[in-house]
Amino acid sequence: MNHNQGSKLRIGIIGAGFAGTAFAATLHKLSPRPVDITLFDKTGCFGVGDAYRTPFPFHLLNVRARDMSAFEDDPRHFVNWLTAHHSSSEQINNVIPLADQFVSRPLYANYLRDLLAELQGEPRSRLKLHLESMEVVDVVLAGDKAQLILQDGRDVWVDKVILALGNNPPMPLPFPVSDDVHCITNPWDYVAPKHIPSDDPVLIVGTGLSMIDTVLTLQSQQHQGKIYAVSRRGLLPLPHAEIKQPYQLTQADLPHNLLLLTKYLRTKSHLHNKEGGDWRAIVNELRAHLPALWEKSSLLDKKRFIRHLLPYWNIHRHRVQPGILDLLHDLAAKQQFQLLGGRVLKVEKGLASIRLRHQQAVSTFPVKWIVNCLGPAMTVIDTPQTLVRALLKRHLASLDVLNLGLTVSSSGALKDAHGQVSSVLYTLGSMRRGASWESIAVPEIRKQCFTLATQLSNDE
Ligand SMILES: Cc1cc2nc3c(=O)[nH]c(=O)nc-3n(C[C@H](O)[C@H](O)[C@H](O)COP(=O)(O)OP(=O)(O)OC[C@H]3O[C@@H](n4cnc5c(N)ncnc54)[C@H](O)[C@@H]3O)c2cc1C
């Protein structure tokens, strides 16, 4: 299949979750030249991705509506969309301003689908958007063009390739499980828990936001059995709170050494709290500076951060709506929910053996189901993603030094095995974690979309 369209810029976007959708819309907005976009998704679902695929309205965004616009240069876009389409929806709280609400993720998926529908309605002379329900399994470069190889053997030629592949697949369970225990290995298979009988005891491995999603799903189907949630430290995400006193951090003042930075932030938080402020203001502000800090940090500090500080950073950074934590506390008070800190050794014959923190003896807990909520694999090194493996095998891409993602330039262009910056292959989102760490959520990804779309528009 050859899409030769004269002077049209032909773009292949691989992955139609948030990043792929937002990039298509941003490029269309910024490009002075007509573009011909083929948007691929292996699931056949466009404008959702793992995060927003959930059918359940009780699965909420963990970021307020005001920060969820798809466009860096139009921060109110999502709130305006909500106002126009859903201000009378029963999913919207009429008391709290729309911008301050944590709205449902299915509603956000509708927003992304609407963006695609708008693009499809554009005059074909300006934009041709073709949606292709197929996995891209390989890329072959031929001069300044790329041939995308599809899983069914077809091919598509483009001028630029944008990888918007999303998170790594879930981390595998690091302990053996015998066959008599049912395992839900993918926490983003949102309907899988419906098979769990109401009285069965469930062990959720991981205590972050996906664990909370699973508890909410179980709660919605009137689950009566015991729910255990376990992680090494047994830490829950901290609650969001309205920030009344913003805080300003200056890049130049932030130490580049991890130890000094941690001390600096602790002292600043302490002082800010004393003045009636809130540590969340500092964490929010720090997030904007993280890519630059990460880039300047030593390899040793990056490793130390991942090894020692990551669980603590995660609970401060990935926060939860306070009402949801109240539900967990209620379930715990009823003895239905138990949060455990420890290491699962094995799950065998209906018993989970767990060495609880600070205890020598191994405790056992009866379980019939396990839900893996460990989150995406940390590194790409053994990735099952065919396309990423193919790019590495062809030396068109290289892994960053910590194997968190691919080596990229500041605009997200891939660097090949010899460090050469590509003018054809680019990536957005999770694959850029090695370069900037914070690269998986809407506020960061939309900025990447804007920068890259601006560059490609100017290149034309
Ligand atoms: C449960 C959950 C909740 C979240 N909530 C929020 C939130 O409230 N706010 C926020 O800012 N962030 C949130 N996030 C972070 C989230 O990762 C980002 O918001 C965003 O969805 C990432 O978009 P993406 O396009 O990079 O990945 P995804 O949205 O996952 O999209 C990647 C797409 O690529 C496709 N794909 C991959 N490989 C191929 C291939 N070779 N060929 C074809 N298609 C392919 C996949 O099928 C998938 O649809 C959440 C994440 C999760 C997991």
Across the range 117-134, mean pLDDT stands at 93
Q: Name every protein residue with a CB atom under 6 angstroms from any ligand 1 atom.
A: 14-20, 40-43, 49-51, 61-63, 135-136, 164-167, 210, 387, 429-430, 440-442, 445
Does pLDDT of 123 surpass 90? no
Does pLDDT of 90 surpass 80? no
The token duo for 385 is: 């993603």
Is the CB of residue 45 less than 8 Å from the CB of residue 192? no
Residue 452 CA to residue 442 CA, distance in Å, equals: 15
Is the CB of residue 93 less than 8 Å from the CB of residue 103? no
Work out which ligand 1 atom sits closest to the CA atom of 166.
Answer: 27
The token duo for 165 is: 């592949």
Choice from 21, 48, 50, 209 to test ligand 1 binding pocket (greatest atom count within 8 A of CB): 50
Alpha carbon of 5 to ligand 1 centroid (Å): 30
Residue 121 CA to residue 129 CA, distance in Å, equals: 9
**Alpha carbon separation from 240 to 62, 64, 128, 229, 317 (Å, rounded):** 9, 10, 41, 21, 10
Using CB atoms within 10 A of its CB, is residue 150 exposed (0-12), middle (13-18) or buried (19+)?
A: middle
Alpha carbon of 51 to ligand 1 centroid (Å): 5
Residues 6+ apart with CB under 8 A from 251: 289, 292, 293
Residue 460's pLDDT band, with cuts at 50, 70 and 90, is low
- Considering the chain, what percentage of its residues have pLDDT values greater than 70? 98
Work out which ligand 1 atom sits closest to the CA atom of 49.
Answer: 29
Residue 230 CA to residue 235 CA, distance in Å, equals: 9
Choice from 38, 42, 67 to test ligand 1 binding pocket (greatest atom count within 8 A of CB): 42
Residue 55 CA to residue 316 CA, distance in Å, equals: 27
Does pLDDT of 289 surpass 80? yes
Q: What confidence tens digit (pLDDT) does each residue in 13-51 have?
A: 999 999 999 999 999 999 998 999 999 999 999 999 999
Residue 340 CA to residue 355 CA, distance in Å, equals: 10
Nearest to 190 by CA among 105, 111, 116, 113: 105
Alpha carbon of 164 to ligand 1 centroid (Å): 8
| Nearest-CA residue for atom 12 of ligand 1 | 441
> So what's the pLDDT on residue 2?
41
Q: What confidence tens digit (pLDDT) does each residue in 181-190 have?
A: 999 999 999 9
Does pLDDT of 370 surpass 90? yes
Give the distance from CA 345 to its chain's centroid.
28
Dihedral sign from CA coordinates of 191, 195, 198, 199: negative
Alpha carbon of 52 to ligand 1 centroid (Å): 8
| Nearest-CA residue for atom 52 of ligand 1 | 51
Residue 142 CA to residue 208 CA, distance in Å, equals: 44
Across the range 408-421, mean pLDDT stands at 96
Q: Which amino acid is at 105?
A: R
Alpha carbon of 10 to ligand 1 centroid (Å): 23
| Nearest-CA residue for atom 18 of ligand 1 | 441
Residue 256's pLDDT band, with cuts at 50, 70 and 90, is confident
Work out which ligand 1 atom sits closest to the CA atom of 48.
Answer: 29
Residue 92's pLDDT band, with cuts at 50, 70 and 90, is confident
Residue 3's pLDDT band, with cuts at 50, 70 and 90, is very low
Residues 6+ apart with CB under 8 A from 262: 309
Look up the pTM and report it: 0.94
Choice from 210, 440, 447 to test ligand 1 binding pocket (greatest atom count within 8 A of CB): 440
Alpha carbon of 198 to ligand 1 centroid (Å): 30
Does pLDDT of 134 surpass 90? yes
